[in-house]
Structure 1
Amino acid sequence: MQLSIRATAISAFALRLHALITLWSGEWMITLRQFESELDVRVTDILSRKKRRKLMYDDSDLAVSELYFFISQMLRFASEWIQESIDDLHALGKQIESKHFSPEAKKKDPEGSFLPDDPDAQTAVLDVFRQNWKSLTSTQRELADELLRRIKKMQEEVNSLREGLFTATAVSEATKSKQLNHYILVFTVVTIFYLPLSFVAALYALDLFSWDDPNQKVSFVVTLILVAGTTYGFAGYLVWFVRKPKRRQRLKNAKRVKSLGKLFKRQRKKDGSGSDIDSEDSDSDS
């Protein structure tokens, strides 16, 4: 009678777990729907320029990147927790079977065992327990597979949105960098334009020159023209040379060939001196 009550208690416990697993799956579904609402992107959102730009570009606080990171990490944790729940239920079944439904446990602790004394009845009770627990774990596995499938799909959506965000942000940053380079170029050109004037003016402002001399103004103008012309011409040549990648590559190749040629000549000289020494040694031996 006591064994029957214990077995009935285990069956009731399994039924209760079955109901809890259904509730567990429903709670996870509610949580995943909340995440899906944050990732819900429709065709109208892509067609609308305003909504599309919200998906493509982040604000100064990086709120969109933070949201995608948060959802991605929470989905990873959810997948791990669901898998741990499956493993825990399997481990619980093994623990109950080894403690209450195994012949070894009945020999060690007859009072704690749920098996009857009849060997045939023991096999029947153990089979019933295993079937009930297998049904329980199968139900959990089916529900968990659906949850994991939805989590995997959401992870792919998050990764797709993050890649689009990072790509658009990289293009935007590259465009801003290019514009900044144009501004720097304008500033550099203006600086180069006034640099010779400032240099010559500072030079002639020294006490070495006297502006009372009538020829001093002519000397100032000539010096200014020479310095400015040289500076502008040299700067223009550098700009022309640097803007041609092929010229830079040819220059690198020429330097490389020249260095290899020098190395080859040094090696030939070493080989020649070595051959001369060998010939002298052979002559002395003869």
Structure 2
Amino acid sequence: MLLFDDETFSRSRLYFWIIGCLNEFEISIEDNIKQWKLFRQARIDPRLERLGDILKSTEDLGLSDELNELHNIYTRGEEVRQGLEDLQSQFRAKLATVQTLRDGLFNASALIESRSSTRLGQNVKLLTYVSIVYLPLAFCAALWAVPDISNNDTRTPFIITTILVGCATYIVVFNLESIVDILGKSYTGYRSRLLESMSEEHDSYWQSLRERFEEFPPNNEQRKPSEWWIIRYQVQKWFRRAD
């Protein structure tokens, strides 16, 4: 249940709230540890060193009491610092755990959405195939929309045409991916040759257009040229050869 969310995204909001709190706790603990270290270095350590040097040459009871009190403060401060560091380590471990759960929640949600999209695409594909079954019949019926369909001279060509058009349509549809792949590879090679030819043009317009076609990464502020410019360039080359 930790990897699935409800419609109100309550678990996601909970994870973000926990992460925010743990980050603030860690910052506060780190600041307290830093302040204690600065205070110890600025006040306690120099005073302890100074009192130690003084007591080596004198037996002042007041200074001895102050030294003992400073040692007690130093000891208690270090104990508190160690406790804060242990607490900080626990918070960091909890933070890593919550971040892992959050990432797992996002990944699981993305996987569920991907499966839903795939299922929807398959349903649309199925509906498309169903509609394709009736497409040749509708085409031929519209083509033979004549009142004397019962006549043999009209009915026989209608049946033959329907079968031929239907078979051709189904062959194309069921092999559409292979056909598109073959045409795509052919067009890619043809397109690359034309772009190379554009780079050799004396006209700066075609050279800049070729650079825009091959710009990477794409510039969001400038639209990529239409592929129709490739065909226009080819037609222009044909006319120049004819001249």
Task: Please give the range of the TM-score, normalised by the shorter of the 2 chains.
Answer: 0.5 to 0.7
Question: Max radius of gyration: which structure?
Answer: 1
2:92 equivalent in structure 1: 152
1:216 equivalent in structure 2: 154
| Residues 149, 155 of structure 2: 8 Å contact kept | no
> Cα distance, 1:198 vs. partner?
2.4
- Choose from 143, 165, 168 the match for 1:230: 168
Q: Number of matched residues?
A: 186
Residue identity opposite 2:129 in structure 1: V
Q: Quick check: 1:81 aligned with 2:28?
A: yes
> Cα distance, 1:186 vs. partner?
0.8
What's the secondary structure of 2:6's corresponding residue? coil
Query: How large is the Cα RMSD of the aligned pairs?
Result: 4.1
Q: Deviations over 1:188-210 (max 9, x none)?
A: 111111122223334444xxx33
Residues 145-184 of structure 1: pairs in structure 2 closer than 5 A: 145-184=85-124
Q: Deviations over 1:224-261 (max 9, x none)?
A: 3343333323323423334x6xx477435532553367
What's the secondary structure of 2:2's corresponding residue? helix
Residue identity opposite 1:61 in structure 2: T
In the alignment, the residues of structure 2 paired with residue 127 and residue 139 of structure 1 have an alpha-carbon distance, to the nearest angstrom, of 18
Residues 44-123 of structure 1: pairs in structure 2 closer than 5 A: 54-86=1-33
- Choose from 176, 193, 196 the match for 1:258: 193
Q: Deviations over 1:28-72 (max 9, x none)?
A: xxxxxxxxxxxxxxxxxxxxxxxxxx2333333333333322222
In the alignment, the residues of structure 2 paired with residue 163 and residue 213 of structure 1 have an alpha-carbon distance, to the nearest angstrom, of 68
In the alignment, the residues of structure 2 paired with residue 238 and residue 177 of structure 1 have an alpha-carbon distance, to the nearest angstrom, of 21
| Residues 4, 108 of structure 2: 8 Å contact kept | yes
Residue 129 and residue 259 in structure 1: after superposition, are their counterparts in 2 closer, same or farther (change >3 A)?
farther
Q: Quick check: 1:200 aligned with 2:140?
A: yes
What's the secondary structure of 2:136's corresponding residue? helix
In the alignment, the residues of structure 2 paired with residue 249 and residue 122 of structure 1 have an alpha-carbon distance, to the nearest angstrom, of 94
Residue 257 and residue 93 in structure 1: after superposition, are their counterparts in 2 closer, same or farther (change >3 A)?
closer
Residue identity opposite 1:230 in structure 2: A
| Residues 241, 248 of structure 1: 8 Å contact kept | yes
In the alignment, the residues of structure 1 paired with residue 165 and residue 103 of structure 2 have an alpha-carbon distance, to the nearest angstrom, of 53
What's the secondary structure of 1:55's corresponding residue? coil
In the alignment, the residues of structure 1 paired with residue 63 and residue 113 of structure 2 have an alpha-carbon distance, to the nearest angstrom, of 71
Residue identity opposite 1:82 in structure 2: I
> Cα distance, 1:157 vs. partner?
1.4
Residue identity opposite 1:170 in structure 2: A
In the alignment, the residues of structure 1 paired with residue 149 and residue 144 of structure 2 have an alpha-carbon distance, to the nearest angstrom, of 13
In the alignment, the residues of structure 2 paired with residue 213 and residue 138 of structure 1 have an alpha-carbon distance, to the nearest angstrom, of 105
Structure 2: stretches of 5+ with no match in the other structure: 48-59, 203-243
Task: Please give the TM-score of this superposition, normalised by the length of structure 1.
Answer: 0.49
